[in-house]
Chains A and B, each alone.
Chain A
Amino acid sequence: MAEDLVLDTAIRDWVLIPLSVVMVLIGILRYFVSKLMRSSPTPDAKMVKEGQVIIRARSLKFGANFIPPRSFRTRRSYFSNEENGLLHVPKGEGSNPQAQMFSDPNMAMDMMKKNLSMIIPQTLTFAFVNFFFSGFVAAKIPFPLTQRFRSMLQNGIDLSTVDVSYVSSRSWYFLNLFGLRGLFSLILGDENAIDDTQRMMQMGGFGFDASKSLSAEKDGLDILQHEWALPRFEQRAESVLRKLVK
């Protein structure tokens, strides 16, 4: 039974549009607040050194084929030499990232700030929507869904014969939550397309685990086979120049 309900224009004026506008504005606000609140952590000299060593090792891996075999081997042994190679971390000294994380007050504060700035607006808006906008049909989604979604999408509406396409404002809120991601990436510039869902996924793995990444780089270098890609570069240069001159 798919009769077409006719909904009041006031719903459109006072529910759909304000809710979307509010969510966009809150997103923009959150972006600026997080930008203001971002405290620059004083970098730890040891961490910076290790980071730079890793970057150097990666560049070596990337450009390995452009240097003669002997120089590559020299550089590689500089990095992965057993006694004093830069990437070699003795077993006992691997720093425990978890302990470091919690003993460092700056990092803990940053994490908490990030979490709060993410969760609070979401919770507040959700409560706001539930309080003000419950109990009526808010919108019609243009595609049909199965009956199982009824309890999720129509929570304020107590009639069970209404088509599942007619949803309450809570589902309009969720739809906005996911759909405005793309809009934010267009408005706020490309770096800040991250929103709640992506940040929630990122919360699982964090922390700069120095020792593991060092040994990973070392293994990568050890595995690398050197293929000398410019064996006859004089002839190659000659042919390129000839092509250019022609």
Chain B
Amino acid sequence: MGSSEKRPKDAMNDIPTFSAENLQNNLKVIQNSRTFLSIIAGVLAGIIGFTGLTGFVFYFVVMLITSVGLMAKAGFSADLYFDSWNRVLFDGFLGGLMSFVLFWTFAYDLVHIF
């Protein structure tokens, strides 16, 4: 979304029209931010030393913070920037999970076992 306000939905008409290119760009931004944050969350979880369920809870907490952050960036009106709320909140959840687990294992081993 960035500083150049890319609104796929034209709010001047009452009819919803979407610019597909802007919509796609916004989705890419969401995915990038989620991936990046899940990697960082993995490293953090490993360093702090979460094990088991606590680690997964930490991952979900970070994902929720990501969602809130994205919503705040979108000005809390997802309708202007995306075609559905679910995308902003839940897209990329599981994709980030694998990266999170990898970096969590990596950091945990580096710090605690070796």
Q: Which residues of A pack against B, CB within 8 Å?
A: 4-9, 11-12, 16, 20, 65, 139-144, 172, 175-176, 178-183, 185-186, 190, 229-230, 240
- Give me 4 other A-B pairs in contact (C-beta within 8 A), A142-B45, A185-B35, A190-B31 excluded: A6-B113, A142-B46, A185-B31, A186-B32
B53–A143 touching, CB < 8 Å: yes
Interface range, B side: 20 to 34
A182–B12 touching, CB < 8 Å: no
Question: Which residues of B are found within 8 Å of A143, using beta-carbon distances?
Answer: 51-53, 55-56
> Are A181 and B15 also in contact (CB < 8 A) when A140-B108, A142-B52 are?
no
> Are A175 and B95 also in contact (CB < 8 A) when A142-B51, A182-B39 are?
no
| Cβ-based interface call for B68 (8 A) | no
B114–A11 touching, CB < 8 Å: yes
B113–A181 touching, CB < 8 Å: no
Of the candidates B95, B96, B99, B104, the one whose C-beta lies within 8 Å of that of A142 is B104
- CA A182 – CA B45 in complex, angstroms? 18
Q: Considering only CB atoms, which chain B residue lies closest to A13 in the complex?
A: B114
Q: Which residues of chain B from 51 to 72 have any CB-CB distance to chain A below 8 Å in the complex?
A: 51-53, 55-56
- CA A6 – CA B108 in complex, angstroms? 13
Give, as a whole number of angstroms, the nearest-CB distance from B82 to chain A: 17
- CA A179 – CA B105 in complex, angstroms? 11
A182–B38 touching, CB < 8 Å: yes
